[in-house]
Amino acid sequence: MSAIAARLERLPLSSFHRKLLLIGGLGYMFDGLDSSSLAFLLPVISKLWHLSSVQTGLVASSTYIGYFFGAFLSGVLADVIGRRRIMMSALAIYCVASFASAMVSDWHVFFAARIVAGFGSGAEAVVIAPFLAEFIPRRYRGMFCGALVGFMSFGYVTSSVLGFTVVKNFPDGWRYVAIVTALPVLLLLWWRKSLPESARWLDSRGRAAEADGVVSKIEAEFVRKGHTLAPLSAAELAAPPTVQKSGGAWRNILTLWLPPLAGTTAVSWIMWFSVAFAYYSFFAWIPSLLVKQGLTITQSFGYSIVIYASQIPGYFSAAFLNERIGRKAVVSTYMLLGGASAIALAFSHSELQIMFAGMSLSFFMNGAFAGVYAYTPEIFPTAVRTTGTGSSSSFGRLGSVSAPILVGYVYPLFGFGGVFAMTTAVLVIGAGVVLIFGIETRNRSLEDIEAQELGLDHSPATLQPAKGMNS
């Protein structure tokens, strides 16, 4: 472990860490608001511009298209030019495009603006968790990163309230909500003053003086508030940075699929795909499938609120358990319990049964994401951390896009039970892959995990990058 990493690890939990959580969490809250609000805007703009079913489907997919490319590109670039710059730029793109989408009078322009907004949203979201992970000590990292994504649930609940109170009651209500989604522009002013660059990333790039400046400023604030910092050992003080020279964006992408990281990348991609596939299979089709069964509760405001509200304890319970039982156990357990909830929903016949099964499904599926967002940044080395996270998230989007399409084919052939059987099988496979092949990260420093994966000597004095990580 380098001296920079050791200094970050010794810091006690404080307002500095909580401020980073709040800053990143607010970003995720607006990401959740933006992605979920489209479901409420779509019926209005579809009628306003007389869209066909194909055109409506295109608009519905706009955010996901943008997110796919934004997540991948920003993940790659954040490893090359830095976390902070990408987060700031992505937020600016998202805010401008969101505001523009509220001003348009043509569906083609709206579609284009939504793609750009999705690009910015995906680009920002994929970097926040790795950024936070690189500052939080090992003792709290899983809890903080899990809680970080939990802020999305507040965005979902807000979109549901705005959808039923604003969009449905004002002629231009959809424009008002689109403007609300652009409000994170105010965060830019805060981020510009408050966000440091990741000291671990600077250290890995050989920019030791800049990394020292970031950490020294943080330490000075601790001392000013009366904290006594534990002294570093002689070995930690003498440990050089694990400089990982990057060969550029394409080299980083290739590194993910070369030994020794290929297995880690495969586990991450499968994990993301299975969770996203199951989530969007269930929540994109459950309302319409239950209506075909003669049950209309899923079209009610009450059902929407309790389903979205169930995400909150789902996310934060998983964040708490990340540090108690480990990320692997959280991801696999919540995925399996999500599958069990889906089966219960498939066999529900009364409105009360549907309500509780739907709440359980929302609780566990979103809790699984709290484990996934905490686990993914930990299993990739610093030099390719955001590249690995971004590519995994983008691959997961293929699951979210393909799921509704496959459900549309499976339902006519195998019915309600067939849809749930297919989706639950994907969940079981994903949970099994994580449980069997994933590495344990609980209460371990990022450098320790990295050393294990790359086959490095754990001794601070001899820690050097693996050959595959050099240019």
Residues 33 and 361: their CA atoms lie apart, in Å, by 20
**Residue-wise pLDDT tens digits, 328-348:** 999 999 999 999 998 888 788
**Predicted local distance difference test score (pLDDT) of residue 459:** 42
- Residue 237, pLDDT above cutoff 70: no
Lowest mean pLDDT of 43-57, 319-333, 352-366, 454-468, name the range.
454-468
At 464 the three-state DSSP class reads coil
- Domain hosting residue 139, numbered range: 3-226+245-453
**Could you tell me which residues come within 8 angstroms of residue 448 by beta carbon, excluding any fewer than 6 positions away?**
1, 458
**Predicted local distance difference test score (pLDDT) of residue 292:** 61
DSSP string, 156-178: HHHHHHHIIIIITTSTTHHHHHH
- Residue 177, pLDDT above cutoff 60: yes
- Residue 240, pLDDT above cutoff 80: no
Residues 129 and 152: their CA atoms lie apart, in Å, by 13
**Predicted local distance difference test score (pLDDT) of residue 295:** 58
User: Is 232 within a domain?
Assistant: no
Q: Give residue for tokens 């601070």.
A: 460
Percentage of residues of the chain with pLDDT beyond 90: 61
Distance of CA 420 to the CA centre of its chain: 25
CB 312 within 8 A of CB 157: yes
User: Is 200 within a domain?
Assistant: yes
**Predicted local distance difference test score (pLDDT) of residue 246:** 54
The first and second tokens of residue 251, run together, are 């080299």
- Residue 18, pLDDT above cutoff 50: yes
Grade residue 463 by pLDDT with cuts at 50, 70 and 90: very low
**Predicted local distance difference test score (pLDDT) of residue 314:** 97
DSSP string, 204-227: HTT-HHHHHHHHHHHHHHHHHTT-
CB 276 within 8 A of CB 400: yes
User: Is 462 within a domain?
Assistant: no
pTM of the shown model? 0.90
- DSSP label at 239? P
Q: What is the mean pLDDT of the chain?
A: 88
CA atoms within 13 A on the CB side of 262: 6
**Could you tell me which residues come within 8 angstroms of residue 310 by beta carbon, excluding any fewer than 6 positions away?**
358, 359, 360, 362, 363, 366
User: Is 467 within a domain?
Assistant: no
CB 79 within 8 A of CB 385: yes
CB 281 within 8 A of CB 407: yes
Residues 165 and 159: their CA atoms lie apart, in Å, by 10
**Predicted local distance difference test score (pLDDT) of residue 243:** 64
Residue range 432-449: mean pLDDT, rounded = 95
CA-wise closest residue to 126 among 391, 451, 427 = 391
**Predicted local distance difference test score (pLDDT) of residue 35:** 84
User: Is 135 within a domain?
Assistant: yes
CA-wise closest residue to 374 among 182, 191, 145 = 145
Angle at which helix 107-133 crosses helix 83-103, to 10 degrees, equals 160
Grade residue 269 by pLDDT with cuts at 50, 70 and 90: very high
| CATH number of the domain enclosing 195 | 1.20.1250.20
Distance of CA 74 to the CA centre of its chain: 13
**Residue-wise pLDDT tens digits, 297-329:** 555 667 778 888 999 999 999 999 999 999 999
- Residue 99, pLDDT above cutoff 80: yes
Residues 186 and 188: their CA atoms lie apart, in Å, by 5
Instruction: Give the Cα-Cα-Cα angle 467, 205, 200 (nearest 5 degrees).
Output: 105
Region at 206 (left for phi over 0; alpha for psi -120 to 50; beta for the rest):
left
- Residue 411, pLDDT above cutoff 60: yes
CB 383 within 8 A of CB 79: yes
Residues 249 and 66: their CA atoms lie apart, in Å, by 20
The first and second tokens of residue 148, run together, are 């970080």
Residue range 261-270: mean pLDDT, rounded = 97
Residue 149: which H helix or E strand, with range? Answer: helix 141-162
When divided into structural domains, the chain yields a total of 1
Q: Which amino acid is at 458?
A: H
**Predicted local distance difference test score (pLDDT) of residue 228:** 81
User: Is 199 within a domain?
Assistant: yes
**Predicted local distance difference test score (pLDDT) of residue 407:** 81
User: Is 470 within a domain?
Assistant: no
User: Is 267 within a domain?
Assistant: yes
**Predicted local distance difference test score (pLDDT) of residue 458:** 46
Q: Give residue for tokens 């696999």.
A: 332
